[in-house]
Every structure is written in C-alpha cells, then in structure tokens.
C-alpha cells in the first residue's frame, strides 16, 4: 500500500469513519511494511503497540462498561517534566484500544449519537497525547511534525497550548519555533496564546519569527501589542526589515 494511500486511510481512521476491513488493511500496512516514511513512523508505532496490547488481552473477557468507567482524563500540567511521559503514551495506547473496541460495538449494536460523539472525543484525546509525545522528541523534524498534527485539531486542550507555548519560547531550533507559532495561531482566540505572542515581541530574536509575530498580532487585531511594536521599531539593534514591519503593524492597529 502506497504511503499516500495509508495517510488517507489514517485520516478516515482517526475520524472514526473506517470499516473493520479497512482497519485490518491499515493495521497490516503499518506493521508489516518496510521503509516507512518519517511522517508515518509515529502511526506505525501506535499500531504496533495496539497489536501487542490486543494480543495480551485476547484470552480475557472484556467488560466494555468497566473499560469506559475507568478511563481517565489527562491532567493539565505545564511542560516540561511535571508528569511521566511514558505513562501518558501508555494511556494513549490504551485509549486507542478502547476506541477500536467501542467502534466495533457501535457497528454491531447501533449505538446512539452520544456514543459516536464520545468515541470521536476519545480519538481526539489520543491524537493530542501522541502530538505531545512528539514535541518531546530529540529530532527537530519530529517536533515540527507534531506541530503539523496539532494544526489539524479542531480544538486544543490547555496542556497542548502550554506545550506549544513552551516550544515556541524555548526550543533551540528556529524552524521548530516558527512551526509552533503557526500552530498556536490557529488557536489565537485563546488569551494565553495572545499573551505568548505579545511577550514574544521582546524575547524572540530571530528576525523571521519577529516578522511572523507582527503579522500574526495584526491578524488578531491585538492592540495590546502596540507598546511592544513601538519598542521594536525604536530598537537600536533591530534590523531595518523588522523595524519597517513593526511600523506597518502600528499603522494597522491604531
């Protein structure tokens, strides 16, 4: 199965729209294929762990009611080291198993709309857990891929936003910082995102990111950024392009 076909099928799977046959094809493609592209490796690891967990539970009778009752919601804590990330990912894999089993029950027992909504919420939470784990990877490309996945989400938890803001402020790679800013902009209606962008005017030093921040704050019509833009325009060490962009931003916000 071609990587592009796998990606399309993955999108259907995470949206809860795949049939049992398609899920079997997807599982086989991700767990048996060689030379998996970099952007599919996280998904391949997920399905490999899902298979392992499924094999361990094959001989046990599953009580769906108890599974749903014991499912927990991740605590919201700020990066970087206030929680066991290994435990978080294990929870994500367990959540995926619950989602697959719940999907089977929905197909077999014609569950009502509330059950479908709950399943899709579970899948969304699992995707956020995976993205959070990717933001902790040593590889800059992995961290950038995590920001791309977050941009696909319809909503983001406080924990996702805190992790993105931490990456935006502290990542050592300029490209990762830029990618984190792009992902944050999607959730620019959130107060903590707007504050992070305003504070970024004085703490970010990369000219490309500085110009991006000015454009984003103007796009958000964030007038509280005016003092920071004024300082940026008058800064002795600022390059001419950034000063000009700051001046343009002031003119649009006034």
Q: What confidence tier does 176 reach under pLDDT thresholds 50, 70, 90? A: very high
Residue predicted with more confidence, 32 or 244:
244
pLDDT 10s digits, 7-29: 787 777 766 677 878 888 878 88
**Which residue in 176, 126, 138, 89 sits closest to 13, CA to CA?**
126
Q: What confidence tier does 132 reach under pLDDT thresholds 50, 70, 90? A: confident
210/203 Cα distance (integer angstroms): 9
Q: Model pTM?
A: 0.55
Neighbouring C-beta atoms of residue 183, cutoff 10 Å? 27
Q: Which two tokens mark 124? A: 């969304």
16: region left, alpha or beta (phi > 0 left; psi from -120 to 50 alpha): left
Rounded mean pLDDT of 204-215?
93
> Which of 39-43, 58-62, 139-143, 220-224: highest mean pLDDT?
220-224
Contact 189, 199 (CB under 8 A): no
Neighbouring C-beta atoms of residue 139, cutoff 10 Å? 12
pLDDT 10s digits, 28-82: 887 887 777 777 776 777 677 666 545 544 444 444 344 444 444 444 344 444 4
175/172 Cα distance (integer angstroms): 9
Least confident of 21-25, 169-173, 204-208: 21-25
31/207 Cα distance (integer angstroms): 43
Task: Show the 3-state SS of 2-56.
Answer: CHHHHHHHHHHHHCCCCCHHHHHHHHHHHHHCCCCCHHHHHHHHHHHHHHHHHHH
């Amino acid at each position: 199965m071609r990587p592009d076909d796998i990606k399309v099928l993955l999108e259907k799977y995470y949206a809860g729209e795949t049939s049992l046959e398609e899920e079997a094809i997807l599982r086989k493609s991700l767990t048996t294929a060689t030379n998996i592209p970099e952007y599919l490796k996280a998904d391949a690891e997920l399905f490999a762990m899902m298979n392992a967990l499924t094999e361990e539970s094959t001989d046990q009778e599953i009580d769906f009611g108890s599974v749903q009752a014991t499912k927990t919601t991740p605590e919201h804590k700020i990066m970087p080291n206030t929680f066991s990330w290994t435990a978080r990912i294990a929870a994500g894999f367990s959540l995926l198993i619950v989602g697959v089993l719940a999907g089977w029950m929905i197909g077999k027992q014609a569950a009502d709309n509330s059950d479908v909504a709950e399943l899709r919420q579970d899948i969304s939470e699992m995707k956020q857990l995976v993205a959070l784990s990717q933001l902790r990877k040593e590889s800059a490309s992995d961290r950038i891929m995590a920001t791309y996945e977050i941009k696909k989400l319809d909503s983001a938890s406080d924990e996702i936003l805190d992790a993105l803001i931490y990456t935006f402020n502290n990542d050592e790679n300029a490209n990762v910082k830029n990618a984190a800013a792009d992902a944050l902009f999607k959730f620019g209606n959130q107060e903590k995102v707007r504050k992070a962008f305003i504070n970024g005017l004085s703490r970010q030093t990369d000219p490309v990111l500085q110009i991006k921040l000015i454009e984003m704050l103007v796009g958000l019509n964030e007038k509280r950024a005016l003092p920071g833009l004024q300082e940026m325009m008058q800064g002795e060490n600022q390059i001419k392009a950034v000063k000009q962009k700051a001046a343009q931003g002031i003119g649009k916000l006034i």
